[in-house]
């Protein structure tokens, strides 16, 4: 007899791919973006953040899976912070050796990885309910996904600002505005759109929008009815239609009557 409760076991490569790309923590759930916004100003800084987050996630998730399953949730959250703090303090000098300024460009953001929301969420949702091997896989996958975004953002910012990549910027910045958070958020917005486009094209069943308020995502084959759709047939469920405040919406029935509602 088939056990209905058993879940299909993913292969290592599939688990890594899904954890890092399909369910990317930054581009789908906006988790832990503070270090990316504040510290990923160059490609090397992005790499440092990526390595730091991966180390924190991996160690915290494995230790959670091994020891913290029976601890109350409110206390577990404090323990995650302590573990992350220990990891950050231990690995900082190795990671800072990659940078030319000894980690000065990362500021306090690197040390604040100890309270990164990503570690808490992954531990709570996954690591405290599964085995250490699965937790390790999840930690590495989420770390790779987060790191890829941090590295890309850092590289794009460095290129726009200094016109270089992975080199120590010694010239004055061409566009110092890229240091401002809004630039990062715009880059992240376009990256999230690209990510969603790829998911819709290749993995339409995996598209989940955390921030659509009511899971408003429409499947790709259902085109948006647009301005001239029939009100009764294809009106999407909305809270408030702010589009109507931009220009008046005409319906098919009005068009059939003569175009101007006569």
Partner 1 sequence: MTHFTSMLTAALYAMLVQNIIFSTGYGMSESIRMAKRPKHFFMYGGTVTFFSLSLSLICFFLNKIPFIFSLETKYRIALYTIVLLAVYILSALFCLTVLKADKKFMNSLGMCALNTLIIALPVVDFKAGYTFAETVGTGIGAGFAFTLSMLLINTGMKHIHGNRYIPDVFKGTPALFIYISLIALAMSCISGQTLFV
Would you report the helix, strand and coil content of the chain in percent, each value rounded to 5?
65, 0, 35
CB 44 within 8 A of CB 154: yes
Q: How far apart are CA 226 and CA 252, in angstroms?
A: 11
- Which one of 60-68, 128-136, 165-173, 178-186 is the stretch in contact with partner 1 (CB under 8 A)? 178-186
- Binding test (CB under 8 A) with partner 1, winner from 16, 19, 22, 33: 33
- Which one of 13-21, 44-52, 149-157, 232-240 is the stretch in contact with partner 1 (CB under 8 A)? 232-240
Report which of 141, 170, 174, 176 is spatially closest to residue 41, judged by C-alpha positions.
176
Q: How far apart are CA 83 and CA 68, in angstroms?
A: 12
Secondary structure class of 161 (helix, strand, coil): helix
Cβ closest to partner 1, residue 81 vs residue 164: 81
Least distance to partner 1 from the beta carbon of 61, Å?
Answer: 17
- Which one of 28-36, 50-58, 63-71, 127-135 is the stretch in contact with partner 1 (CB under 8 A)? 28-36
Least distance to partner 1 from the beta carbon of 228, Å?
Answer: 12
- Binding test (CB under 8 A) with partner 1, winner from 4, 5, 73, 256: 73
97 binds partner 1 (CB under 8 A): no
- Binding test (CB under 8 A) with partner 1, winner from 6, 8, 11, 74: 74
DSSP-assigned states of every residue in 46-115: HHHHHHHHHHHHHHHHHHHHHH-TTS-HHHHHHHHHHHHHHHHHHHHHHHHTTSTTTTGGGTTTTGGGGG
**Rg of the Cα atoms in the chain:** 23
10 binds partner 1 (CB under 8 A): no
Binding residues for partner 1, per CB under 8 A?
27-38, 73-75, 77-78, 81-82, 85, 89, 92, 108, 111-112, 114-117, 120, 177, 180-186, 188-190, 192-194, 196-197, 200, 209-214, 216-218, 220, 224-226, 236, 238-243, 246
């Amino acid at each position: 007899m088939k056990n209905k409760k058993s879940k299909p076991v993913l292969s290592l490569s599939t688990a890594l791919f899904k954890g890092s790309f399909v369910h990317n923590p930054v581009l789908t759930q906006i988790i832990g973006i503070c270090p990316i916004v504040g510290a990923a100003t160059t490609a090397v800084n992005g790499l440092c953040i990526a390595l730091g987050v991966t180390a924190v996630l991996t160690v915290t998730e494995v230790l959670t899976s091994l020891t913290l399953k029976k601890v109350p949730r409110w206390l577990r959250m404090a323990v995650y912070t302590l573990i992350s703090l220990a990891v950050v303090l231990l690995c900082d000098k190795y990671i800072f050796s990659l940078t030319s300024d000894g980690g000065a460009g990362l500021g306090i953001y690197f040390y604040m990885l100890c309270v990164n929301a990503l570690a808490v969420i992954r531990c709570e949702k996954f690591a405290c309910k599964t085995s250490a091997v699965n937790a390790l896989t999840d930690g590495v996958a989420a770390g790779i996904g987060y790191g890829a975004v941090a590295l890309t953002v850092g590289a794009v910012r460095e290129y726009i600002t200094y016109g270089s990549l992975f080199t120590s910027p010694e010239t004055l910045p061409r566009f110092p505005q890229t240091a401002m958070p809004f630039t990062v958020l715009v880059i992240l917005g376009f990256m999230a759109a690209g990510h969603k486009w790829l998911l819709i094209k290749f993995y339409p069943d995996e598209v989940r929008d955390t921030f659509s308020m009511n899971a408003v995502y429409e499947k790709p084959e259902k085109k948006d009815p647009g301005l001239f759709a029939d009100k009764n047939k294809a009106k999407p469920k909305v809270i408030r239609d702010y589009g109507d405040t931009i220009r008046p919406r005409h319906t098919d029935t009005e068009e059939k009557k003569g175009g101007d509602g006569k």
